[in-house]
Chains A and B, each alone.
Chain A
Amino acid sequence: MKKRYALYAAAAVITLSLSSVYNPALAGAGHGKSGKTGAPGKASEVTRTINVTMSDNFYEPESLTVKEGETVRFVVKNAGEFVHEFNIATAEMHKAHAPEMMMMMKHGVLEADKINRDAAKKMQESMGHGMHDDPNSVLLEPGKTGEVIWTFPENAELEFACNVPGHYESGMVGKIKLSH
């Protein structure tokens, strides 16, 4: 029972993204080859933990300040009743990611309050792509908690945002200020 639960919880932390296959702009963030957005961080280098709460449809805190080059562990809790994402990227990257999330929704993978794994599997089989891990983001069902460890770059215009269709546009996005 306990084991099963843990497995389920882990599954819920899977990130949805179609990006890397097609979109070179996203590949940087998706596969962490460092760059203008930063890079996936190592747990051993974490200097700070920031708790982020996701509600319907907003974050607390509403904006973040981190140091350039800092490695931060984000502990992200979905306290809402809908699926939400915590995704660190530039505004342009979020914009490129949004249609993919829309496709997930249209295929029934992304439901309002849950991630439909059967639909995801079907989509994977029929279209050759589906869900996989992206280190810069975490997609969470209601009640779930996930983690992102990220090493920030210098001089970047970054946002943390939820790309579930409609959420970014209605304001579920915050600025990440990089301090020296």
Chain B
Amino acid sequence: MSRLSLLNAGVVGLSLLVLSAGDISAAEYSLSVDRVKIDTGDFTRMGIGYNGETPGPVLRFKEGEDVTIKVTNNLDESTSIHWHGLILPYQQDGVPGISYDGIDPGETFTYNFPIVQSGTYWFHSHSGFQEPDGAYGAIVIEPEKREPFRYDREYVVQLTDAHPHAGDRIMRNLKMSADYYNRKQETLLDFFSDVKDKGLSATVDDRMMWGDMRMMPTDIEDLQGFTPLINGKSSSQNWTGIFKPGERVRLRFINSSAMTYFDIRVPGLKMTVVQADGNNVQPVTVDEFRVAVAETYDVIVQPKEDKAYAVIAESMGRTASVRGTLASRQGMVADLPPLREDPRLTMADMGMDHGNMAGMDHSKMPGMDHSKMPGMDHSKMPGMDHSKMPGMDHSKMTGAAKNNDAFYAAGSGLVPSAADGGKFLSYSDLKAQKPLYEDREATREIELRLTGNMERYIWSINGEKYEDADPIVLQYGERVRFKFVNETMMTHPMHLHGMWTILDNGNGKWDPIKHTVSVAPGTTMYTETEVDAPGQWAFHCHLSYHADSGMFRKVVVKGGPKSASLSSQKGG
């Protein structure tokens, strides 16, 4: 039986070739890139998938092995596969024009690289709009060592925002009119209602300010009208994961959307976050969390009852949601709660609320350490009844700001709160379980202003589009501090290829490493990168239509080990 026929059967991890050379194991995988039919229940269209389906198969690797992946392009256009979040030689990174030339129609490209990490990741096309058209799949890497948590079963929960329009058509429409897909535009009626509430002059001032920004308060999702999917299934198609009551279930959330952030909850269950972007974090138990485009979060839940639990992913702009089900028996369907009220951007998201700007340097905000917050000094709270203290939830204390998250502008309309009460995960909560890098001073700082012209649908960095900009040049061995200043009103998930992004969230030596960091409107945040991977890499906003319209840079790493920077393919 040929490998190809197996491949078409859609089998994952097809042929497992164990090489004879000592304890080196190598696994060989094959993927075909195919035209596939997408059926969301709301619409059907042709899209792109792997091994005949979208999402593609779950690739299961083992830390420490060398993998060979043969990718055959059955499309009539060039394609590519990028292994999102994997640390590998740059020639294997799969970005046309930076790592290699891409894969021509009818060609097979053989990837070969060592697996040097573990956790939940994903893969997708880095060509045109093939990824929004369905060209994505999940990667699960089994670790060499025992994990710092325990579970009885696991599921990949891969999200996307399937759109009835093909990606290139969406891009054309956005270029023609940036609010083409914004169904939440403010109307003349809104204007009169605001005049009634705020008075004419305040309303006109307000509208003129938004006009200057070429934005509207409803510009949270510039692409609406999509059907969110869990593992390729809409709410009506109801993706289901089976459990036995009492089991610990690991859910590997991956946001493979083109444009959509999701807020995730499992009503009735606490979720303990154990990984972010594939890296173990000190476990933190939450009621809900937000997953930016391209991020992954692994959580452990323990459903104890013999019933159906909903897995809800609601878009950040509250234009759509999807429900999957954790079920103790086949055929159960959990309830899908209605969408929450849609948030509105505020002046703070415009970066206009300068009065509150002082508090925005995240590096100087040591998480939520109450012991260092003078305002929380219990000894000065005379009216407090200590007998009612056990189980006290500080987040509900008066005096503490209602929705308080250092990673949003103070007064931002985007700050999330948990639907059913309780804790919503913040970036501040993420602490590395076992830091990969020693904490040290950065050698220099590079400022990256996230910029754009919404009306012309041009997105850029420091005011320059990709094609007009010089690459960012880094020196092997340095530790660079990136200062992200978001001057736009959109939230941008910034993804650096090839090297880890250390998120400066004020936790010092516990600062977590990620591959994608979300920068909220009107905020400044810092990341650091140990420049430890020679070659050239992509660095971009992971919103597909922002990346394509210019919010993208090439990063060149100079120096480093000779062998690694050779441009020839790694021997297979």
A binding-site residues for B, Cβ under 8 Å: 18-19, 22-23, 55-58, 81-82, 96, 99-100, 103, 106-109, 112, 116, 119, 122-123, 125-129, 165-167, 169-172
Contacts and interface: CB of A to CB of B under 8 A. Distances in A.
B151 interface: yes
Nearest to A109: B371
A137 B371 CA distance: 25
Nearest to A108: B371
Interface of B: 146, 148-151, 248, 270, 272, 274, 282-285, 300, 302, 368-372, 377-379, 386-387, 389-392, 394, 431, 433-434, 510
Nearest to B432: A112
A56 B431 CA distance: 14
B371 A169 contact: no
Contact of B149 (A108, A129, A171): A171
Given A56-B434, A169-B283, A170-B149, A128 B371 contact: no
A19 B391 CA distance: 10
B250 to A, nearest CB: 10
A99 B390 contact: yes
B272 A106 contact: no
Given A57-B148, A166-B272, A166-B284, A22 B387 contact: yes
A165 B284 contact: yes
Which of B148, B369, B378 has most chain A Cβ within 10 Å?
Answer: B148
B1 to A, nearest CB: 41
B379 A57 contact: no
B384 to A, nearest CB: 9
Contact of A170 (B150, B369, B377, B391): B150
A18 B390 contact: yes
Which secondary structure dominates where chain A touches chain B? loop
A108 B370 contact: yes
Nearest to B433: A56
Contacts of B387: 22
Central interface residue in A19, A103, A125, A128, by most chain B CB within 10 Å: A103
A171 B151 contact: yes
Given A99-B390, A112-B282, A128-B386, 4 more contacts: A81-B434, A166-B283, A166-B285, A170-B148
B394 A22 contact: no
Nearest to B387: A22
Contact of B389 (A22, A119, A169): A22
Contacts of A23: 390
B150 A99 contact: no
Contacts of B283: 57, 165-167, 169-170
Nearest to B151: A171
A106 B151 contact: no
A112 B371 contact: no
Contacts of A57: 148-149, 283
A169 B249 CA distance: 11
B300 A169 contact: yes
A58 B370 contact: no
Given A57-B148, A107-B371, A108-B372, A127 B284 contact: no
B282 A82 contact: yes
Given A126-B378, A166-B283, A100 B390 contact: yes
A92 B256 CA distance: 39
Nearest to B381: A126
A18 B386 CA distance: 11
Contacts of B431: 112
A171 B391 CA distance: 21
Contact of B379 (A108, A126, A171): A126
Contacts of A82: 282
26 contacts: A23-B390, A57-B148, A58-B149, A96-B390, A99-B390, A100-B390, A103-B389, A103-B394, A108-B372, A112-B431, A112-B510, A116-B371, A126-B379, A127-B378, A127-B386, A128-B386, A129-B386, A166-B284, A166-B285, A167-B283, A169-B272, A169-B283, A170-B272, A170-B283, A171-B149, A171-B151
Contacts of A58: 146, 148-150
B377, B378, B387 interface centre (most CB from chain A within 10 Å): B378
B414 to A, nearest CB: 25
A162 to B, nearest CB: 11
Contacts of B272: 166, 169-170
A103 B390 CA distance: 9
A33 B378 CA distance: 32
A129 B151 CA distance: 36
Contacts of A19: 390
The 7 tightest CB contacts between A and B, nearest first, are: A171-B150, A166-B283, A108-B371, A126-B379, A170-B149, A169-B272, A170-B283
A137 B388 CA distance: 24
Given A99-B390, A107-B370, A126-B379, A170 B300 contact: yes
B246 to A, nearest CB: 11
Nearest to B380: A126
Contacts of B370: 106-108
B330 to A, nearest CB: 26
B433 to A, nearest CB: 7
B304 to A, nearest CB: 10
A81 B434 CA distance: 9
Nearest to B372: A108
Nearest to B283: A166
A165 B378 contact: no
A118 to B, nearest CB: 9
Nearest to A97: B390
A127 B371 contact: no
Contacts of A116: 371
A126 B274 contact: no
A129 B431 CA distance: 28
Nearest to B302: A169
